[in-house]
Amino acid sequence: MKHDHLFAVRQAILDTLYAGASPEFLSSEIGQIEIDDHVAGRSQKADATVIPWLSRIIDLQDKAIVEFGCGTGAIATTFAQHGARVHGYEIDPARAEAARRRAALMELDSCAFDHAAADDLPEVVRAQWDGQADIALLFAVLEHTTHQESINLIRSAWSCLRPGGLMVVNDTPNRLSFFDYHTSHMPFFNNMSDEMVATEAYRSPRDGFKAAFADQPMTDQRREDLVRWGRGVSYHAFETAIGPQVHDYVALTGFEKEIADEWPIFLEDTLMMTYFKAKPIEAHEAFARSALNLVLRKPE
């Protein structure tokens, strides 16, 4: 992204997503890191890792792409810069507006962004794209959903694809991992009940997570908050949404060099792979990584 675009996009994000943020947060180190990630970090990562990875199996030029949970448009506009036509859907109207402004500032007329309520989004996208998309993108979104929401999103994404189309799942924590690298940065986080999370949250090195959950009563609202922070997703959701044959549809596994350079193979990955092989688990090794980065190809 050009320097003048970066400055303008930053201002657009401040005017939309961070319109109500306090000056203290905006000037804090955490605030600056978060804003920088929205402005350029996510797009740089996609450009350097995900797009070269996908280029192993598809040419993005003029491909029709649907993105679920497009945020402020960082991923969508990066794919558009590589010749794709991208339509992003977002449940937060402020993020959707930021995405529109980003695309306009970058003079990308191959991007469109719509806002839809969380409960409606899967059906809205399915109705508009049934069997027409070349690629469905699920970037760092499934981990923030309830069990049923994740299934609905996966089903919708799969329905949107034409025969031979690709579902891309990226940067999504695996619910089966022994260590939570995403939310709490604690071992066995995903093995804990919600009540146990409240008891053990004081051990988290993340101050924000600790403040939100340590020694707090696990009310219905706090359970919802815990889901939105991120609890991960496993192969079970994909089997439920698509069918047990989903393991036959894996086209890229996340072990490829482009992904492994960004998401190294941790001890947890090795342990899960060993367990998958040692036990009668009929699941593809792509689902044995602590972060799911995989591509599924819809049968012709």
Whether 91 and 108 share a structural domain: yes
Residue 66 belongs to domain with CATH number: 3.40.50.150
Same domain, 114 and 224: no
Q: pLDDT at position 5, please?
A: 77
Q: Is the residue at 25 inside a domain? A: yes
In the prediction, which pLDDT does 3 show?
62
Distance (Å, whole) CA 117 – CA 119: 6
Whether residue 72 is found in the same domain as residue 153: yes
pLDDT tens track for 70-121: 999 999 999 999 999 999 999 999 999 999 999 999 999 999 999 999 999 9
Concatenated DSSP letters of 53-104: HHTTT---TT-EEEEES-TTSHHHHHHHHTT-EEEEEES-HHHHHHHHHHHH
Amino acid at 262: E
139 and 195 together in one domain: no
Q: Are residues 81 and 150 in the same domain?
A: yes
**60 and 34 co-located in one domain:** yes
Q: Are residues 244 and 100 in the same domain?
A: yes
What pLDDT does residue 1 have?
Answer: 57
Task: Examine the domain organization and report whether 61 and 123 are in the same domain.
Answer: yes
Residue range of the domain that includes 196: 189-228
Question: Into how many domains does the chain fold?
Answer: 2
Q: What is the pLDDT along the chain (300 residues), one digit of tens a residue?
A: 566 678 899 999 999 999 999 999 999 988 999 999 999 999 999 999 999 999 999 999 999 999 999 999 999 999 999 999 999 999 999 999 999 999 999 999 999 999 999 999 999 999 999 999 999 999 999 999 999 999 999 999 999 999 999 999 999 999 999 999 999 999 999 999 999 999 999 999 999 999 999 989 999 999 999 999 999 999 999 999 999 999 999 999 999 999 999 999 999 999 999 999 999 999 999 999 999 999 999 999
Convert 118-151 into a string of H (helix), E (strand) and C (coil): CCCHHHHHHHHHCCCEEEEEEECCHHHCCHHHHH
Same domain, 136 and 160: yes
Q: Are residues 206 and 109 in the same domain?
A: no
Distances (CA, A) of 110 to 85, 222, 295: 5, 40, 23
What is the DSSP-derived secondary structure letter of residue 193? -
Whether the predicted model's global pTM rises above the 0.85 cut: yes
Q: What residues are paired with 179 via a beta bridge?
A: 187
In 3-state terms, what secondary structure has residue 159?
helix
Shared domain for 111 and 196, answered yes or no, is no
* Joined tokens for residue 172: 């999504």
